Homo-oligomer: A and B are copies of this chain.
Amino acid sequence: MKNDRFLKALRGEQLRPIPIWIMRQAGRYLPEYQEVRGKTDFLTLCKTPELAAQVTIQPVDVLGVDAAILFSDILIPLEPMGIGLDFKEGHGPVLSPPVRTEADVSRLVVHDPNETCGFVSETVKILRKELSQKVPLIGFSGAPFTLATYMIEGGSSRNFLFTKKMMFEAPDLFNKLMEKITDVTIRYLSMQINSGAEAIQVFDTWAGILSVNDYFQHVFPHVDRIFKELSTFDCPKIYFAFGGHHLLSTIKDLKVDCFGIDWRTPLNKASDLLGNDKVVQGNLDPLALFLPEKDLRDRVKVILEEGKVAKSHIFNLGHGVLPQIPAEKVKLLVEIVHDLSK
């Protein structure tokens, strides 16, 4: 009964049609989501298992995607480390106080997500049950560097000044911070897998701001440790380094099953850089959903063609879908991908 094309593709099977899911598919572009969200704030929604499960399932029913992804936020496991977390409407997240000194880092708690993030575990359990006849459930976390930027900057950033300042001026302190986040991340992902997540994705949204050498020195060891420690779980793993075209040949040997690729790099080029034996996931520019239907079809065709070089291909956007995109267009994309790859 269950549609397991997504899991098969993650294992390297070439399928017809290929599976598709969409980053941020449970989000503000979807009227059904807006209705739930209208009654509660974002953080409460993340922390209320029944509601989080409800919005997680919506796109599966509405769009017909081949996987569900836990509705949550990458910053959730940072709060129990001892950081204030606030999502202000129209602004990005605010984390306070920012983590910038030896004392700030020392204060951070390497907590046990089973105790501190029970609502996530609960949501995963509900979802696994409710999705049992539908599609697989993806769990996720932020990657240590991406989480570190939010902690150090106190929110979003343009230049990542404080992050790089710490990395360059105080590499040992930066490393200590990365270690702590990595410890929490491993526990957090283990909890999700133990609760029933059937695949996990690690989002490294800001990895791309680093030079190849700095990524390799300051970030790679931590990402590598996450996937090595999680390799005891027979659960497929995806790593997505947004803006990471220049990092592809550096990350190719990570112990992951699949690499997310943003829209900048053609999938055949990405496969080439990754070694041609990898599963790739991507990579329509989220704003290419503004293309008229005919042009959208043409573009999907190109991406499907480029994806054929890879071991297998899971269709996705190259980044999260934006609130300004009509839900009908997203639904159309799912139909087009299924149609053209069948």
Hey, which bits of chain A sit against chain B, CB under 8 A?
A: 159-161, 164-165, 168-169, 208-214, 243, 245-246, 263-266, 269, 285, 287-288, 290-292, 295, 302, 318, 322, 324
| B290 adjacent to A211 (CB under 8 Å) | no
Which of the residues B208, B209, B295, B322 comes within 8 Å of A161, measured between beta carbons? B322
Complex CA gap A324/B159 in Å reads 11
Given known A-B contacts A159-B287, A290-B169, A212 and B264 have beta carbons under 8 A apart: yes
| A302 adjacent to B213 (CB under 8 Å) | yes
Complex CA gap A285/B165 in Å reads 11
Given known A-B contacts A246-B264, A322-B159, A322-B161, A291 and B169 have beta carbons under 8 A apart: yes
Given known A-B contacts A212-B264, A212-B266, A322-B161, A168 and B245 have beta carbons under 8 A apart: no
Complex CA gap A245/B269 in Å reads 13
Residues of B within 8 A of A265 (CB): 211-212, 246
Complex CA gap A230/B295 in Å reads 34
Closest-CB distance, A170 to chain B (whole angstroms): 9
| A266 adjacent to B324 (CB under 8 Å) | no
| B285 adjacent to A208 (CB under 8 Å) | no
Closest-CB distance, A267 to chain B (whole angstroms): 11
Closest-CB distance, A5 to chain B (whole angstroms): 26
Complex CA gap A214/B286 in Å reads 13
Minimum CB distance partner of A171 in chain B: B295
Closest-CB distance, A266 to chain B (whole angstroms): 6
Complex CA gap A128/B160 in Å reads 37
| B165 adjacent to A290 (CB under 8 Å) | yes
Residues of B within 8 A of A292 (CB): 169
Residues of B within 8 A of A263 (CB): 211
Residues of B within 8 A of A264 (CB): 208-212, 246
Complex CA gap A239/B36 in Å reads 49
Minimum CB distance partner of A247 in chain B: B264
Residues of B within 8 A of A208 (CB): 264
Given known A-B contacts A245-B245, A295-B168, A160 and B266 have beta carbons under 8 A apart: no
Minimum CB distance partner of A92 in chain B: B158
Which of the residues B164, B288, B291, B322 comes within 8 Å of A285, measured between beta carbons? B164
Closest-CB distance, A231 to chain B (whole angstroms): 29
Minimum CB distance partner of A287 in chain B: B164
Residues of B within 8 A of A266 (CB): 211-213
Residues of B within 8 A of A212 (CB): 264-266, 269
Which of the residues B161, B168, B245, B290 comes within 8 Å of A291, measured between beta carbons? B168
Identify the interface centre among A208, A288, A290, A318: most chain B CB within 10 Å of its CB. A290
Residues of B within 8 A of A160 (CB): 287
Residues of B within 8 A of A159 (CB): 287, 322
